[in-house]
Amino acid sequence: MKLDQLTPQQFQRFRDFIYMKSGIRIPDTKLTLLSNRIRRRVTSGAWSDYDSYYGHLTSTKGTSELEFFFDAVTTNETSFFRTAAHFDWFSTEFLTNRVAQARRGERPKSLRIWSAGCASGAEAYTTAICLLENKYRLRGWDLEILGTDISEDALRIAREGVFRPRSVEGVSEVQRKRYLRETDDGQWQVRPEVMEPVSFQRHNLMTPPPKPAFDCIFIRNVLIYFDTESKTKVVQHLIQALAPGGFLVVGPSEGLYAMLDPLKRHSAFLYEKCS
């Protein structure tokens, strides 16, 4: 079966559907990209054309296909220590303050971190590496890192913890030896102690956040294609998910600055929920 590009009407229908379900706004310029990605789904299944696929996707029987659909249409690019300054802050200032507060009895010895829109998990594992680098002062602490994404495919890769060389370029030689293992086919496997505090679950950021609240949330390179209305909804969920005194770390292209008024701004990337 040969499928051409989506017609303008079909393109519009799929875009509206993606927006309604995820908040992702596909730009006008992405007709070819979206056609190629949806074509892969259509030809892999029992559908004869885009319209019958759309009909299935939007019917009650299409619920299980939704996961594959979002796997196909989302961009899951990620890497370890992406925007390194965020992890410098996390490893030094954030952890130093938390340890000091715990020593003074102002906080419990626990941390819950959320990598929201984690793709294949590099952000969550980078956070785990930062915690391991501080393991002596965090001895006896209860540490949890949750990675969530709308794409089940990305989460499957995340749970395996195997990465291409390009994804780990930001990991220093010393840290690679300590926290990763090179596989026979030149990939990089995350070591068990890095995986230990990390779990992954499917979650759509347009829906209410996971509980209990988090001490630090990373939301980076996720909301680029969201419009203002969808971003506002996601921001409400993120603020709701932050524990008092918790921090939100925002990516360079999220475009959220104007919406983060309820939080205290420390810098362009860092916001605090004051108690």
DSSP state of 180: E
* Site for ligand SAM contains 126 (CB under 6 A): no
DSSP state of 147: E
* Site for ligand SAM contains 6 (CB under 6 A): no
Determine if the peptide bond prior to 210 is cis (ω within 30°). no
**CB closer to ligand SAM out of 17 and 141:** 17
**List 3, 31, 66, 206, residue binding ligand SAM (CB under 6 A):** 206
HSE, CB side, 13 Å, CA atoms: give it for residue 262.
Answer: 15
Return left, alpha or beta for 186; rule: phi > 0 is left, psi -120 to 50 is alpha, else beta. left
**List 16, 49, 77, 182, residue binding ligand SAM (CB under 6 A):** 77
* Site for ligand SAM contains 73 (CB under 6 A): no
Token pair 């010393």 is found at 174
Q: Of 61-69, 85-93, 214-222, 253-261, which segment contacts ligand SAM by CB under 6 A?
A: 214-222
Q: Of 5-13, 33-41, 71-79, 160-168, which segment contacts ligand SAM by CB under 6 A?
A: 71-79
Assess contact for 205 and 236: CB atoms under 8 A. no
**Closest by Cα among 253, 84, 87 to 170:** 84
The distance from CA 187 to its chain's CA centroid, rounded to whole angstroms, is 22
**List 151, 163, 256, 271, residue binding ligand SAM (CB under 6 A):** 151
Binding site residues, ligand SAM, CB under 6 A = 22-24, 74-78, 82, 117-119, 122-123, 149-151, 154, 204-206, 220-222, 251
